[in-house]
Amino acid sequence: MSHVEEVGNTLAAMLGRLPPQQLHPARAWIEEYALPTLTEIGQGSTSPELAQAVALLDRARELIDDVLALSENTRGHLVGYLATLGVSGEQPPPSLPHPSTTPRIPTDASRNRSWIDQVRERLPKYTGGQTTGLTYDQDGTELTESSGRDDESERARLTLHNSTVFPSFDPRGAPGVYTHVETKYAQRMKERGQTYGVVILNKDMCTGPQRCMIAVRAILPRGYTLVVWEPGKQHPVTIHGEAQP
């Protein structure tokens, strides 16, 4: 038995004993530690075992997503069924928790492709001009963010201008990245002390040396994370802050 097979068997045994709600930390470990580590140490490597290990972990991540999506769908069917039941007799139905005490969208749902697909259907199709994104904080508060210049983008521009992480501005003017959805939302997270956020976009993030990913890293303090879902992608981009707190 190869080392990779041993890892696969161990991982299978661990996941088999975990209830669905505890699969989220396992997926986060694969996404944020195991795969990046193997990718880093495997640069330039032609080892078949290393490639097999990466494929194994990537497949495990996909299967966990499928299980979580199934759990969420099953929960939805149960809630729908219970809602159709009548209450007989004089005993009043049990009271429901006040909305303020009930999380609207769990943070872990940010990696549930079933939920992401539902959100994507509500986004307008990008036809040029402004980009639109739906954003979520740890409590599930949903806000719509659009690209463009406003007070928020101006504050993001100043943050990037003073950043030691973001590449220096072109002398001809500030880069347009400070007007982008994910950059503006990162600025909002920084100002509110919000350490985790999710953005679902209707347009891919920009590229280049002064791209959105670099801008978000430069704005968010260390310990902050923004998860970005681009249109049509099966996995999100996870961006960790690099600015001094």
Looking at residue 110, its pLDDT comes to 61
What ranges in 30-150 are assigned the alpha helix state H? 35-41, 48-83, 113-122
Indicate whether 71 and 105 sit together in one domain.
Answer: no
Q: Which residues of the chain have pLDDT under 50?
A: 85-107
Boundary of a domain, candidates 50, 83, 116: 83
Burial of 34 (0-12, 13-18, 19+ CB in 10 A): buried
Indicate whether 167 and 59 sit together in one domain.
Answer: no
CATH number at 153 reads 3.40.140
Indicate whether 126 and 204 sit together in one domain.
Answer: yes
Q: Is the whole model's pTM more than 0.85, yes or no?
A: no
Domain that holds residue 27: 3-83
Six-digit token pair at 161?
């201008």
Looking at residue 168, its pLDDT comes to 73
Indicate whether 27 and 147 sit together in one domain.
Answer: no
95 assigned to some structural domain:
no
Looking at residue 48, its pLDDT comes to 79
Indicate whether 214 and 128 sit together in one domain.
Answer: yes
161 assigned to some structural domain:
yes
Express each pLDDT in 180-191 by its tens digit.
999 999 999 999
The total number of structural domains in the chain stands at: 2
- Contacts with 213 (C-beta within 8 Å, 6 or more apart), sequence order: 205, 237, 239
32 assigned to some structural domain:
yes
140 assigned to some structural domain:
yes
Looking at residue 128, its pLDDT comes to 87
Distance CA 103, CA 127 (A): 33
Indicate whether 17 and 130 sit together in one domain.
Answer: no
Looking at residue 99, its pLDDT comes to 40
Looking at residue 50, its pLDDT comes to 78
Boundary of a domain, candidates 54, 83, 112: 83
Boundary of a domain, candidates 83, 108, 123: 83
Looking at residue 167, its pLDDT comes to 81
Indicate whether 106 and 193 sit together in one domain.
Answer: yes
91 assigned to some structural domain:
no
90 assigned to some structural domain:
no
Indicate whether 229 and 140 sit together in one domain.
Answer: yes
Indicate whether 126 and 40 sit together in one domain.
Answer: no
Indicate whether 127 and 236 sit together in one domain.
Answer: yes
Indicate whether 49 and 116 sit together in one domain.
Answer: no
Q: Largest Cα–Cα distance of the chain, in whole Å? A: 76
